[in-house]
Structure 1
Amino acid sequence: MSTSVTDVIERTDADAPARAEEAANDTGIQSFLVTFIIRRFNPEVDEEPRWVDYDVELYSTDRVLDALHKIKWEVDGSLTFRRSCAHGICGSDAMRINGRNRLACKTLIKDLDISQPIYVEAIKGLPLEKDLVVDMEPFFASYREVQPFLIANSKPEPGKERIQSIVDREVFDDTTKCILCAACTSSCPVFWTDGQYFGPAAIVNAHRFIFDSRDDAGDVRLDILNDKEGVWRCRTTFNCTEACPRGIEVTKAIAEVKQAVLRGRA
């Protein structure tokens, strides 16, 4: 009896899980059954969000994003979340993991207590669209309002770049690291209760240009942030600094903008 290519492919696919398990056993790497409790919401059928639990076989070196992929690909394809680069650069997979804002792609299973369920939900303070996805438009509206781009009154010499010293660059180097994940802004208690507050991320990105020696519109941004919903709404709780996956000293940056507002210049 002849064997078709299709038969070989089907047998190969069917044997794949067994081969993967055998390979894991050969390396001596131990897997664990981890319980995830995810806050689900489908606006087409749910009136309120609901918690759903999933048991996932993982390794200590896996990330929360790997677990979400496994749930979506192998258990429930309707699970909805954002992700792109999976390497902590794009910032699209910010979510609350065990009550803290983190990037799913940077949160390792080994850094969590897997003897207890791992709770995952959408970030707070922004309109919930579906499952772990929120509407980011209010966040980006505040970002755009602080004019986060270089504004210079003079042009550089033809064919030349704008020169800046190492010392001048160091002044705002920290705030250039923002990836607009909204982890800081959505960890802020003021932002949760006041939908008009600019939020930490917008202030951080204003800081990046206010203190840039090549920029000539620092006073404009300071006027914008001197508004009642600007820097003075910050209560210095340090939630934003703790939540930042890039290690930006967000609270320090906000304090520096406050001082610049009081001085009337950067």
Structure 2
Amino acid sequence: MSILRTLLRHAFQSRYFSIAEFKRAQNKADKGRDEKQKDGKKQSPKMKTFKIYRFDPEGNNKKPKMQSYTVDINDCRPMVLDALMKIKMEQDSTLAFRKSCREGICGSCGVNIDGINRLACLHKIRPRGTTKIYPLPHMYVIKDLIVDMNKFLAQHNRIKPYPIPKELCVKSEGDQQFLQSIKDREKMDGLVECILCACCSTSCPEYWWHGHTKPPNDFLGPAALLNAYRWIVDTRDGATHERLSELRNYYNVYRCHQINNCTSVCPKRLEPGRAISQLRLYLSKFKKKPKPDMVGKAPSDPYKACPKDECE
């Protein structure tokens, strides 16, 4: 890149450049690269302390504890997940945590780092101080940093996170495409990017209090409600009224107090709080029982009230 910048600067200044100038720029770049490599070899170890939550229900000591590990961050890649992998490979093979893509796509490495829910693969190691790593809060811990996601995934499954085609349009499976305009697709921006890492739901105080009660009187949480709104605004889906009727329970949606912890910790920078507020507005403008011949029809604009000819 430095060679390219030098050549572009000469090109703008003199409209041309010679071979000698090109070689000079190349030698300068090579010299800078060699100096960086030499500096890297001379780097002294820089030790960093990580305190990690440990809990093994099958071990001798069943009480959780915090265990300290020291890592040379000059000999480690920059992310917290890299440090966890280095600890597991070189110091303690019994350390348990989830990981998969290492690129912020799968959402499996969600943990609590220094009091904030984050993806370990996207959070850089702080060069100073001690980093404390806990499992996601208010979740049942299976072992160390691994939590039980069954309740979270069951709540997500209750919103029916799949397209339900319009009954009046479906003839037979595979015979018809469900097309969507660019404008309608733009309504789902900021919704379809959710990776179900549970960082938002486990940072929500209301989910701590009422997210683990018995269904159907449990708060579904920001992640499930964000995905519910995603399918409601999808113009290709034909079960809008059915989805809304299932979300009318006060405990499922209306326990949200708009604290917006979910928005502040989302690794994909989504806005579950805004989606929940729009979902409330959407629920308030729809009647409970649609006309029988209109069941399965999606409204043209999700931000407007249901037209009079579509609802009783």
Identify the TM-score tier after normalising by the shorter chain: 0.7 to 0.9
Q: Which amino acid aligns with 2:72?
A: E
Q: Which residue of 2 aligns with 1:200?
A: 222
In the TM superposition, residue 124 of structure 1 has moved relative to its aligned partner by 1.3
Other-structure match for 1:40? 54
Deviation at 1:231, TM superposition (A): 1.4
Counterparts of 1:187 and 1:214, CA distance in 2: 32
Aligned to 2:84: 68
Pick closer, same or farther for the CA change 1:240–1:31 going to 2, 3 Å: farther
Aligned partner of 1:55 in structure 2 is: 70
Aligned residues: 241
2: distance between equivalents of 1:29 and 1:182?
Answer: 39
After superposition, the Cα gap between the structure-2 partners of 1:83 and 1:242, relative to the gap in structure 1 and judged at 3 Å, is same
TM-score (norm 2): 0.73
CA 1:222–1:30: 2 relative to 1, 3 Å: farther
* Structure 1 consecutive aligned stretches of length 4 or more whose deviation exceeds 6 Å: none
Which digits, 9 at most, give the CA deviation of each residue in 1:78-109, with x for residues without a partner? 00000001110000000000000000000011
**CA apart distance, 1:161:** 2.5
> 2:77, 2:83 within 8 Å by CA — same for their partners in 1?
no
Secondary structure, aligned partner of 1:43: coil
Q: Which residue of 1 aligns with 2:20?
A: none
Segments of 5+ residues of structure 1 without an aligned counterpart are 1-22
3-state SS of paired residue (1:191) = helix
| Partner SS, residue 66 of structure 1 | helix
1:229 and 2:251 matched: yes
SS at match of 2:191: helix
What secondary structure, in the 3-state scheme, does the structure 1 residue paired with 2:192 have? helix
Q: 1:148 to 1:24 in 2, by over 3 A?
A: farther
- Identity level (%): 38
3-state SS, counterpart of residue 161 of structure 1? coil
Q: Normalising to structure 1: TM-score of the pair?
A: 0.85
The structural deviation recorded for 1:64 is 0.2
Partner of 1:185: 201
Report the alpha carbon displacement of residue 216 of structure 1 after superposing the two structures with TM: 1.2
Q: Secondary structure at the match of 1:70?
A: helix
Residue 56 (structure 1) shift: 0.6
Correspondence 1:127 to 2:149 = no
Conservation of the 8 A alpha-carbon contact between 1:156 and 1:162: no
Is the Cα–Cα contact under 8 Å of residues 88 and 103 in structure 1 kept in the other structure? yes
Separation (CA, whole Å) in 1 of partners of 2:46 and 2:81 = 16
C-alpha separation between the residues in 2 aligned to 1:205 and 1:87?
22
- Which residue in 2 is equivalent to 1:239? 261
User: Where does the alignment leave 5 or more consecutive residues of structure 2 unmatched?
Assistant: 1-36, 213-217, 287-298, 303-312
User: For residues 159 and 253 of structure 2, what CA distance do their matches in structure 1 show?
Assistant: 12
1:30 shift after superposition: 6.6
Matched, 1:95 2:111: yes
Using the TM superposition, name which of 58-67 and 135-144 deviates more.
58-67
Secondary structure of the residue that 2:95 maps to in structure 1?
A: coil
Match of 1:220 in 2: 242
What is aligned with 1:4? none
Measured in 2, the distance between the counterparts of 1:224 and 1:30 equals: 61
C-alpha RMSD over aligned residues:
2.0
The one of the two structures with greater contact order (alpha-carbon pairs below 8 A, sep at least 6) is 1
Deviations 1:114-153 (A, max 9, x none): 3211000100122111000001000000000000110112
The residue that corresponds to 1:3 in the other structure is: none
* Pair 1:215–1:77, CA change in 2 (3 A): same
Cα distance, 1:48 vs. partner?
A: 2.6
Contact 1:33 1:58 in 2 (8 A): yes
Q: Confirm or deny: 8 A CA contact 2:170 2:176 kept in the other structure.
A: no
In the TM superposition, residue 222 of structure 1 has moved relative to its aligned partner by 1.7
Letter in 1 for 2:146: V
Structure 2 CA distance, aligned partners of 1:28 and 1:247?
Answer: 39
